[in-house]
Amino acid sequence: MSRTTPTIEQQQSKRGSDYVYFERTAAGMSDDAVPRAKTAQAKLEHFYTVSVQAAVERNQRRVELERKLQADVMMTEERKQRQLAQLGRRESTFLRLRRTKLGLDDFRTVKVIGKGAFGEVRLVQKIDTGKIYAMKTLQKSEMLKKEQLAHVRAERDVLAESNSAWVVQLFYSFQDSSYLYLIMEFLPGGDLMSMLIKYDTFSEDVTRFYMAECVLAIEAVHNLGFIHRDIKPDNILIDKDGHIKLSDFGLSTGFHKQHDSSYYQRLMDSANGVVSPTSAAQAGRNSVMVNAIHLTMSKQETIATWKANRRKLAYSTVGTPDYIAPEIFLQQGYGKECDWWSLGAIMFECLVGYPPFCSPTTHETYVKILDWRQHLIFPEDVHLSRESEDMIRRLMTSADERLPVEKIKVHPFFDGVDWNTIRDIEAPFVPHLRSITDTSYFPTEDLENVPEQPAGADTTGAKDLAFLGYTFKRFQVTSHAF
């Protein structure tokens, strides 16, 4: 046995006779040994932190219910016992979920309901419980920076804990070698993009409602320590009561081509007339095309084309840059203000019918955003109140002049908004739903060529722990489906 004899010095005088000095060294160990030990330590620390916290919370839930039942003099003893047993069952189910590994075959697709840059969104049913969820598929190979996956998971962990009414809840995630799957709550009301396609514009009152809810949602995201970076109508989802939630973030952002700094650099260069040798041929072709479109299209036609292509744009990997703040392109760093710019662009679209920089090509959109002072134009044929225009201008301005959230909330445009109760009041459009699997608010006809079942990787049967590490613990006190 090759055991290195440790250097042991005994100091019997001061300490007990058992006291041992042990000289620690990682000499002779592999390079991985120390990092591996550190990881194990961190994981175990995390495990115990979460275990203790879980015990405390479980206890609280029990004591709360016991107290509530005790105070209820009307309820029969039998019903009280049943309620306590029910709590026990829920807690037990939750424990079981911790051991549960999930894979694609645990879900049945009901319908394809959406498409994003990296994959599709499906309405699915968990086979053993019958519960309904939205499943987002993300193709790993499409994500440019794979090494960000770990980082993303960490972000997701925090998000999963958030439990904010303004953020779509994530229940499980799992992956195979090609895809990452996110199982989220299903919001049956569709998204704001579909609403804008349907209604063209909103009245100022309706716009105020959606903007006010967005303000609170963005604020909630910021309070969680995130910058969304990609707020656009496609990411503003409508729940069964017509209120909004922001769809998952921290995942897609960062992977997007538009967020790749070298991509920006090329863009900036081409905007400034610098042609990099590698992209010379391509840039040449592009510019010809740009001119061609420019010459033949009127403003009206541009808008019409943009609107007609809106969904396709949403499905493309490049995505639509229409709502992205200019500083994001400048690579000089940006803060949470960028989300308020996006909100301004969305508000413009709600009232005017198209976003401020919409152009025949995304390239032109970029150029206009960078030169927003010249291109932020309020059309004369659309009447906007003074407050509305001022609100938009105070959101769509240079980052240092953009209003912070406290000032946004007291802007005259939001006069009369009760920020504390808005989520409880009746929404302007409440979806009419015939069942828990009603998909009439989604453009399902447009998605008919998308396969019902996600492709999945070749490694069938491979399953992942349902929860994101130990952190993701979603305890549902009430059923989340209707």
Partner 1 sequence: QQHGEQREKPLYLCSPFVEAALVKGNFKTIVVQPKYVDLTEWVAVNIFDFYQNINLFYGVVAEFCTLHSCPTMSAGANLDYTWIDSSRRQVKLPAPTYIDYVMTWVQNLLDDDNVFPTKAGRDFPTNFAQTVRHVYRQLLRIFAHIYHAHYHQILHLRSEPHFNSLFAHYLSFGAQYELFDIKDVKGTPTALVGIGDLWEKWKEMGILEQQ
Ligand X SMILES: Nc1ncnc2c1ncn2[C@@H]1O[C@H](COP(=O)(O)OP(=O)(O)OP(=O)(O)O)[C@@H](O)[C@H]1O
CA angle, 255 as apex, 355 and 395 as ends, to 5°?
Answer: 30
* Of 104, 110, 114, 342, the one binding ligand X by CB under 6 A: 114
Query: Would you count residue 230 as binding ligand X (CB under 6 A)?
Result: yes
Q: State the Cα–Cα distance between residues 244 and 213, nearest whole angstrom.
A: 7
Which of the listed partners (partner 1, ligand X, none) does 476 bind, with a CB threshold of 5 to 8 Å by partner kind? Answer: none
CA-nearest of 12, 31, 30, 32 to 20 is: 12
Residue 79 binds which entry of partner 1, ligand X, none, CB below 5-8 Å type-dependent: none
Interface with ligand X (CB under 6 A), residue from 106, 155, 157, 191: 191
Question: In Å, how far are 81, 99, 109, 114, 125 from 105, measured between CA atoms?
Answer: 37, 17, 10, 20, 11
Q: Which does 174 bind (CB under 5 to 8 A by kind): ligand X, partner 1, none?
A: none
Tell me the CA end-to-end span of the chain in Å, nearest whole number.
Answer: 64
Residues engaged in binding partner 1 (CB under 8 A): 1-6, 15-16, 18-20, 22, 24-26, 29-30, 32-34, 36-37, 40-41, 43-45, 47-48, 51-52, 55, 58-59, 62, 84-85, 87-89, 91-93, 95-96, 98-101, 128-129
Contact yes or no for 345/323 (Cβ under 8 A): yes
Q: Report which secondary-structure segment, H or E, holds 113.
A: strand 107-115
Options 137, 175, 207, 247; binder of ligand X; rule CB under 6 A = 247
CA distance 155 to 75: 44
Segment lying near ligand X (by CB under 6 A), choices 4-12, 110-118, 274-282, 347-355:
110-118
Select the residue interacting with ligand X from 137, 173, 207, 235 (CB under 6 A). Answer: 235
Neighbours of 291 (CB within 10 A): 10
Per the document, the length of the chain is 482
| Number of residue whose CB is nearest ligand X | 116
**Which of partner 1, ligand X, none sits in contact with 359, Cβ below 5 to 8 A by type?**
none
Q: Does the footprint of ligand X cover residue 104 (CB under 6 A)?
A: no
CB of 48 to partner 1, least distance (A): 5
Which one of 87, 103, 104, 116 is in contact with ligand X (CB under 6 A)?
116
Report the distance separating Cα 385 and Cα 420, nearest Å.
25
Q: What token pair was written down for 437? A: 């699997």
Instruction: Please give the Cα distance from 99 to 107 (Å, whole number).
Output: 17
* CB nearer to partner 1: pick between 104 and 112: 104
Q: Cα separations (Å) of 389 from 395, 412, 429?
A: 10, 11, 24
Supply the residues annotated as catalytic.
Answer: 230
Nearest distance, CB of residue 42 and partner 1, angstroms: 9
Minimum CB distance to ligand X, residue 389 (Å): 28
Rounded Cα gap, residues 186 and 106, in angstroms: 17
Burial class (CB in 10 A: 0-12, 13-18, 19+), 435: exposed
User: Which of 190, 360 has the CB closer to ligand X?
Assistant: 190
Q: Is 136 within any annotated ligand binding site?
A: yes
Task: Give me the least distance between CB of 163 and ligand X, in Å please.
Answer: 16
**Residue 171 CB, nearest approach to ligand X (Å):** 10
CB of 467 to partner 1, least distance (A): 12
CB-facing half-sphere around the CA of 316: CA atoms within 13 A: 13
User: What's the rounded Cα separation, in Å, for the pair 335 and 233?
Assistant: 21
With CB under 5 to 8 Å by kind, the binding choice for 165 among ligand X, partner 1, none is none
Judged by CB under 6 A, does residue 322 bind ligand X?
A: no
Comparison of 78 and 445: residue with beta carbon closer to ligand X: 445
CB of 462 to partner 1, least distance (A): 11
362 binds ligand X (CB under 6 A): no
Query: Which residues pair with residue 121 across a beta bridge?
Result: 114, 136
Q: What residue 383 binds from ligand X, partner 1, none (CB within 5 to 8 A, per partner kind)?
A: none
434 binds, among ligand X, partner 1, none (CB under 5 to 8 A by kind): none
Residue 175: closest CA among 153, 159, 147? 153
- The values of phi and psi at residue 22, to 5°, are -130, 120
Q: Which residues are annotated as a binding site for ATP?
A: 136
Q: For binding to ligand X (CB under 6 A), which residues are involved?
A: 113-114, 116-118, 121, 134, 136, 168, 184-187, 190-191, 230, 234-235, 237, 247-248, 252, 319
